[in-house]
Chains A and B, each alone.
Chain A
């Protein structure tokens, strides 16, 4: 149980285009999903916390107009990188918790999406 999928796994796009990444909890309902970004050989940095039916909470320094997050259902959250630029190239990983998103919950991670902006 507790499987999280992401789509696409890899995407290459031209500078200026927008890219949407989907994160789905396959066998459980996820009230809270998290979006992380990981640069090569670095740790995961939390970008935002996404709660179903409400606006996402962004970490300091993350542009909410650049990284649009929608959590329309208990099993799906999307991250849209708008007007992508080469510096947005990174590995984007989502995670989901089984309930409530409190600190007691284990986060289960998706397989990640590697974005390359040319």
Chain B
């Protein structure tokens, strides 16, 4: 069975702190894709990153970085020097199935306080 676990339900940090959001996945597929989406209070899901199972290189995009470790089935997301605008719910998702549907984790609500 495919599953995505985001163990952190809510995280609260003060602006400029670094924060890491955890994501652990389960799949029997040898080829799969992992995603992170941001959902601000407005509700729209914003695509952040897609990573395929064959590429374990870490990725950095500005203040965002992702650490993909197949050995531990984890795909963690770090925000460096957090800002108030980073406050949102962040979802990790696993791409699978013949029609490309996504399996979402339950999300982590990040609150960044000034």
Point out residues on A near B: beta carbons under 8 Å.
32, 34, 42-44, 46, 49, 51, 57, 91, 93, 95, 97, 100-112, 114
Instruction: State in angstroms the CA–CA spacing of A49 and B43 once bound together.
Output: 21
Which A residues are CB-close (under 8 A) to B114? Answer: none
The reply on B70 being an interface residue by CB < 8 A is: no
Chain B contact residues, majority secondary structure: loop
Size band of the B side of the interface?
20 to 34
A/B pair count, beta carbons within 8 Å = 66
Chain B residue numbers with a CB within 8 Å of A95 are 45
Chain B min CB distance to A74 (Å): 16
Q: Is B113 in the interface zone, CB < 8 Å from A?
A: no
Binding site for A on B (CB under 8 A): 31-33, 35, 37, 42-47, 50, 52, 91, 95-102, 104-107
Q: How far is the CB of A51 from chain B (nearest CB, A)?
A: 8
18 contacts between A and B (CB under 8 A): A32-B100, A34-B101, A43-B91, A43-B106, A44-B91, A57-B99, A100-B100, A101-B99, A101-B100, A102-B98, A103-B95, A103-B98, A106-B35, A107-B47, A109-B37, A109-B44, A109-B47, A112-B44
